[in-house]
């Protein structure tokens, strides 16, 4: 694989992580506008985590002597009617991120670039954790049902999860 292609893959992943950072901030704004402080804090914490992924890839590119290039953020409007809707959107977003990593890793493996493959394994593990967390949250939403008391309890649970992770 030409070096340029490898670095394009890394830059693409860095931009996907930056988009994820932005997406979580938008989800936090959605939650804040509904006075769901626990959900807002959860999303903001995850936005910071996604930003740390951006910086990890950025630093890796710098360490390799390559240029990190940023693309424009696509306009996205997160709009959901309820917490199940917003967490379903977040889950679908994470599915997309996971697919991007799967594709990138497949390309890197095909070219037998063990150095970048090892680097990307950490991100693959992170995506496994993100997907599992989203599924657990969606399961909790279904378990508690709907209604103002359930929403209050769910928001409290999200505050707890945000403070623990």
**Residues annotated within a binding site for Fe cation:** 17, 50, 53, 94, 127
Residue 15 structure tokens: 């931009």
* Rounded Cα–Cα distance for residues 92 and 2 (Å): 32
* Rounded Cα–Cα distance for residues 75 and 33 (Å): 19
Residue 34 structure tokens: 């509904």
Q: Which residues are annotated as a binding site?
A: 17, 50, 53, 94, 127
* Rounded Cα–Cα distance for residues 52 and 145 (Å): 34
10, 115 contact by CB (below 8 A):
no
* Rounded Cα–Cα distance for residues 102 and 55 (Å): 20
* Rounded Cα–Cα distance for residues 154 and 83 (Å): 9
Indicate the DSSP class of residue 74.
P
């Amino acid at each position: 694989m030409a070096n340029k292609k490898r670095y394009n893959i890394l830059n693409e992943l860095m931009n996907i992580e930056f988009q994820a950072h932005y997406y979580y901030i938008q989800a936090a704004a959605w939650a804040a506008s509904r006075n769901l402080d626990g959900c807002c804090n959860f999303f903001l914490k995850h936005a910071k985590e996604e930003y740390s992924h951006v910086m990890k890839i950025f630093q890796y590119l710098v360490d390799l002597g390559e240029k990190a290039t940023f693309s424009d953020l696509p306009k996205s409007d997160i709009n959901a009617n309820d917490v199940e809707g917003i967490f379903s959107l977040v889950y679908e977003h994470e599915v997309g991120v996971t697919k991007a990593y799967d594709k990138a890793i497949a390309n890197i493996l095909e070219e037998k670039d063990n150095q970048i493959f090892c680097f990307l394994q950490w991100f693959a593990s992170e995506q496994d954790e993100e997907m599992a967390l989203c599924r657990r949250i969606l399961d909790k939403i279904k378990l508690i049902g709907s209604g103002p008391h359930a929403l209050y309890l769910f928001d409290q649970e999200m505050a707890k999860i945000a403070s623990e992770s």
